[in-house]
Amino acid sequence: MGPRPNLLTRRAAGVASTTLALLLSTAAVGVVPAASAFSAAPGGESCAEPADVHADARVKAGGTAKHDPNELTAKQIREREADLSAALRERANFRAGAGATTLATVTIPVVVHVIQRDSTRAGGNIPDSLVTSQINVLNQAYSGATGGAATAFGFQLQKVHHVTNAAWYPIVQGSSAERAMKTSLREGGKNTLNLYLGELSDNLLGWATFPQRKLNSMDGVVALSESLPGGTATNYNQGDTGTHEVGHWLNLYHTFQGGCSGSGDSVGDTPAEASPAYQCPTGRDTCTATGLDPIINFMDYTYDSCMYQFTAGQASRMITAWNAYRAA
């Protein structure tokens, strides 16, 4: 298993936005009505079709996935950052009127939907003990206990909902079936993390939606069920797909977003990185800017055993986004 040269090449090409959008549209043909295709949307947030326009995924090293379905273009990043600023202004005005304050710590209720084809493990029926372990991994990672910065967030499991439906198995990223599944199953408000577990399309480990001002039924995190701690996904079975995807759900970008130039991932203390890192490389340094590549960061693509930290800048970005988008 080695790095995926096609992905690296594509990212290095500088024409990535157009190329990826086209690839994505092509991939979506036949499974998604045009109006709901994720990337019909170079226009992103301003596009009429809402919410799930911006999702982000994690892929395996050497995987067979033909694309990283939701890499954000520079334009989409600009739009998201502008929306964050606008949302913060909007919320500040609201709070001033309501006498409310911003939150410093948050306990996120988690509703887990285990999507299965039948009642066997091979059919997706994982034991609830794996889900409990996943919640523990999230709490460890987001508290800083694994070696990173402490974030504001803790996670509390509300329920595990087993759903047997062959039409939703595997979960196909961007499909009308994914939309139907989420529309049918999603629970709670903007502050509720809905975690969908199952077999996934395209050799993906997971994907997630970014926060938006208005709740959309697509909001949530999808993860490969065997990526949970104790699962069978070799090198990716310590639960950090969940950690990574929840990072997106809390508004983090990949550490390699934007490559070596510009504002990168919009976080000041994650060194710039030209492209995703896979496996667990030693001394990787792909940009001339200060600092080795942040391969130990949860928002890179390395093995679970390799990633163990969020930075203080990421922690700050997440709680800022929470107060802008997900706080009551």
Of 117 and 244, nearer to Zn ion (C-beta) is 244
Going by their DSSP bridges, the two strands 193-198 and 106-116 should be labelled as: parallel
Please report how close the Cβ of residue 118 comes to Zn ion at its closest, in angstroms: 30
Structure tokens at 243: 């950690």
Q: To the nearest whole angstrom, how small is the minimum distance from the Cβ of residue 321 to Zn ion?
A: 16
Q: State how far the Cα of 141 lies from the Cα of 147, in Å rounded to an integer.
A: 8
Helices (H) and strands (E) in the chain, counts: 7, 6
Q: Is 265 one of the binding residues for Zn ion (CB under 5 A)? A: no
CB of 121 to Zn ion, least distance (A): 27
Rounded to the nearest whole angstrom, what is the least distance from the CB of residue 301 to Zn ion in the complex? 7
Residue 245 falls in the annotated catalytic set: yes
Q: Name the residue whose CB lies closest to Zn ion.
A: 56
> Per the structure block, which two tokens stand in for 3?
């790095």
The strand pairing partners of 38, in sequence order, are none
| Shortest separation between residue 328's beta carbon and Zn ion, angstroms | 27
| Interacting positions 204-233 with Zn ion (CB under 5 A) | none
Please give the sequence-ordered ranges of beta strands (E in DSSP) within 165-313, or none if there are none.
Answer: 193-198, 204-209, 221-224
279: phi then psi, degrees, rounded to nearest 5 = 55, -125
Q: How far is the CB of 209 from Zn ion (least distance, A)?
A: 11
The active-site residue out of 45, 79, 199, 245 is: 245
By CB under 5 A, the count of residues binding Zn ion is: 2
Strands 204-209 and 55-59: antiparallel
Q: Which two tokens stand for residue 85?
A: 């600023």
* Residues 73-112, mask of contacts with Zn ion (x by CB under 5 A): ----------------------------------------
Which residues lie across from 196 on neighbouring strands? Answer: 113, 222
Distance CA 153, CA 280 (A): 27
DSSP string over 65-130: -S--TTPPPHHHHHHHHHHHHHHHHHHHHHHHHHT----S-EEEEEEEEEEESSSSTTTT---HHH
User: Rounded to whole angstroms, what are the CA distances from 219 to 6, 20, 51, 113?
Assistant: 29, 22, 7, 13
Residues 34-73, mask of contacts with Zn ion (x by CB under 5 A): ----------------------x-x---------------
Catalytic residues: 245
Binding residues vs Zn ion (CB under 5 A): 56, 58
